[in-house]
Structure 1
């Protein structure tokens, strides 16, 4: 019998897991639009390395329980984000390695996800693995990307409202209030 061909963008996950099938590949980073949009504008995703990924389906049969559908997802990407200190591009390595359990309904997924450390999702008729991988990569991005040591010195910021340029000192914020009180207005 000829092995079944699986397409990651329209994956019949139940059959994929039942057959213990595996897929792997790479996509241009620019083809993952939301990931590309999260990058630094000065370093477009077209110049990034391709996103490498692997999927492995599995059916687990726990003792005394119903069969469980699992998907092992791994992916790695090198993305250019905006450093929050110097505002220049900073490259970040983003890797995911997750086991996801799939159940029949959203209600069951929500209940199990709340009670378990495992990631639990409702089993779709067809899974878009590209979208799932992109979601997982986005969740793994650092909240505050920054260089360990910024390549350019940081510019000194000037507080336009509070610095007296001639003296270089901040005026006392209560000086105006004191002047008003002395001026006789209650």
Structure 2
């Protein structure tokens, strides 16, 4: 009988030792911080699709390294920064994490290691990690490829434009200077 793995209470050591894979989909509502990033409009967010893979990497003269590979994606309605209407952005995250025994080791390795370092936990919340990675992968400026409606692009301030339509009170003086009326 295969035991059921819970991504919000994952034993990272056992998961990596077994070379386990876990995949699923979660409604956006189960990830409240990511839900806050969506734009209220007529577009619907998709399911959060995710996959976790555990692995051990053998080290000569030391204990095997514990790794967790993460892939996640979601279609998230956001506000186009060009036309200010909803745009459905596909947000994807793909990262690998190495786990170490304690915070001190993680802090010491964090500056020199290229990979992300996390502390081993027997009750690791992988769904929170998925949410974090998707938030970090959000586009800085969501845009349509081609906006559905054309927005007027004007460098002139409407207030300034209405002022320039008024007659210039010094226009008469300019006419006197050149001898014209």
Q: Normalised by the shorter chain, which TM-score bucket?
A: 0.7 to 0.9
CA drift at 1:155: 3.9
* Residue equivalent to 2:19: 20
**With structure 2 as the length reference, what TM-score do the two structures score?**
0.82
Match of 1:70 among 67, 71, 84: 67
Match of 2:110 among 100, 104, 113: 113
* Residue equivalent to 1:145: 142
SS of aligned partner of 2:141: coil
User: Is 1:5 aligned with 2:16?
Assistant: no
Match of 1:159 among 157, 160, 165: 157
* Residue equivalent to 1:87: 84
SS of aligned partner of 1:73: strand
Question: Could you list the per-position Cα deviations for residues 111-136 of structure 1 after superposition, in whole angstroms to 9, with x for gaps in the alignment?
Answer: 22211111111112311111110100
Which consecutive residues of structure 1, in runs of 5 or more, have no partner in the other structure? 172-186
**With structure 1 as the length reference, what TM-score do the two structures score?**
0.80
Question: 1: distance between equivalents of 2:86 and 2:100?
Answer: 41
* Residue equivalent to 1:181: none
SS of aligned partner of 1:133: helix
* Residue equivalent to 1:177: none
Q: What root-mean-square deviation, in Å, do the aligned CA atoms of Structure 1 and Structure 2 show?
A: 2.1
Task: Considering Cα pairs closer than 8 Å and 6+ residues apart, tell me whether 1 or 2 has the greater RCO.
Answer: 2
The 5-angstrom pairing of residues 96-107 of structure 1 reads 96-107=93-104
